[in-house]
A and B are shown apart, each in its own frame.
Chain A
């Protein structure tokens, strides 16, 4: 007996076998009926900007990885290889739109304008969050897998109730698609036609588990069962990602409801700096994906446009190095929280019971200091 898979929205769910691509590996521009109309304003200058963004995101990632190895950060979940999957959508969002992401959304954090000094505090274990959510319109990063998808849908429902011209984008990985919360988020987004974009970065692994363990069908097929249009996009193609995100954001903003984007990409680094991917995947697989590098692809495209690549690379390097320098300085000079701060912000209205504990802890610390 065969199982009939519901047909995806024919207008959007092209590329189920071969993800939607507009930049070929060699940098040639492939025509694409769906995406091209959303890229008409992307000239050499705009593509250069996306390139510089990706170079900066990668430089931040590489620097943070090194800082972890050098003991300045306690942990880092690298995004190496996923730069296009984040930069493309991040640059499609409006200033008032919101992002609800996981712990690997460094590209979004940087491009939304998070202060890198404060951002580094998360990964120094000095703080649980690294930016003011209302200021950059991005919720605190989320460690519980998929939990933020519901927050994004709730925000979108609220924006719709307020008649606000705003969109919520929620980012999560392939593993999250197995979580109840993501599935509930799809149900709710469809029921309430919430202006939300589901961005699934399918980086092929949930720590060690390959995506095939989460799903036997392309992840982009799943939302169609919920009545949500879906696109399967080459996540290493910043232009395809940018165009797909523009389509989804535009649908949301104009009352079209939710859209799902599966960004087919690859996590070239470990899950985090404590992970050992050699235990679960071959180096040859990593090399194959390295050949699909999202940044080199844009370099080739820019070269084909006739850009002065020496100048473009030099400019990108200056900005990336500056970012890395600032990030390193912030890491090296950050002040740890005080013990007293443990008790802060548990409640908006302080609790008598907790204030007793704070007092007791202070007394204990004083007694130790008096002995010393």
Chain B
């Protein structure tokens, strides 16, 4: 049986069902109780489960994570909320040096069944620190699982799995999609390590996650009008990354585009393209492309639409992988890079 829910409500349902199903689950975060969260994702949960299980905390991100670690020694499963992507950095040490490593440090004797929820991504017209995509910092760290969701169903199923997992999970929620609706079946709980092919196609593979999955699907529809078949993969888990699924797809299509809102440098696309090059080099018929945020700090939101991956930027990249005329065809890089390396970049 399914119900129609916004992503915010789907996450709320996943939290409620987790609290309901396991009395060791508890929620901690800033403004998650009485207010119901700044996005209302935790709306009503404190009323239903009480202040002992839905805990409003002082404003100290390192302490939210650090005390959650202490609670896991007593077998609590804490779901910690970091209010915004750009507010996670004070907790970086506790996440990277403690949460990620305690299971390893203790030779498997300390389990870290901790879920860290982080609203991430842009396109919400906000001010600085409210639209970032910091997932790569965490994907780089062994011991953490880093997952995302693209639909209300994925959000529900992923969060349930994250809370049930004995591994620590960072769940990056695409806040720009919080209020989009979709069908949700509460029986579905998914694993935390497989990608999902959300559209099949023979010509080009687009790998996306979180908010860019929708953009990729729209690109697939637009390209279909021109007879181009795009396969869209929702990576879902960005660490560990399901390279197998992408490699299999690229073996069919020969072309790969990776898209995310985070900047390109040392990112999920860097990792995925490198991995595909290692394992499917002979199958590639064009250089892999990426459509990402630029290598700048997140810009003022008045111009964020120029910064974020868009349908048109994706279609432009599709043209490049197919050797068709595109925005860079006549581009002269010499002015900034020197003529000597002005070669294959403009195809």
Contact = CB atoms under 8 A, between A and B. Distances in A.
Interface of A: 98, 100, 127-129, 132-134, 139-140, 144, 147, 149-159, 161-162, 164, 168, 180-181, 184-185, 187-188, 191, 344-349, 351-354
20 contacts: A127-B107, A128-B106, A133-B109, A150-B94, A154-B66, A154-B71, A155-B73, A156-B70, A158-B70, A158-B71, A181-B66, A184-B62, A184-B63, A185-B63, A187-B63, A188-B57, A188-B67, A345-B107, A351-B240, A352-B193
B240 A140 contact: no
A153 B244 contact: no
Contacts of A156: 70
Nearest to B97: A144
B143 interface: yes
Interface in B88-109: 90, 93-94, 97-98, 101-109
A176 to B, nearest CB: 13
B165 interface: yes
Interface of B: 26, 52, 57-58, 60, 62-63, 65-71, 73-74, 76, 90, 93-94, 97-98, 101-112, 142-143, 145, 165-167, 192-193, 240-244
A101 to B, nearest CB: 13
A347 B66 contact: no
Contacts of B143: 346-347
The listed residue with most A CB atoms (<10 A of its CB), out of B98, B143, B145, is B98
Nearest to A337: B107
The listed residue with most B CB atoms (<10 A of its CB), out of A129, A153, A155, A348, is A348
Contacts of B165: 348-349
The listed residue with most B CB atoms (<10 A of its CB), out of A98, A168, A184, A344, is A184
Nearest to B243: A353
Contact of A354 (B58, B68, B98, B240): B240
Nearest to B73: A155
A161 B77 CA distance: 13
Contacts of B62: 150, 180-181, 184
Contact of B244 (A147, A155, A159, A352): A352
A141 to B, nearest CB: 9
B70 A140 contact: no
Contacts of A354: 142, 240
A349 B110 CA distance: 13
A168 B70 contact: yes
The 8 residue pairs across chains A and B that have the minimum distance between CB atoms: A154-B70, A150-B66, A154-B67, A348-B166, A155-B70, A184-B63, A158-B74, A345-B108
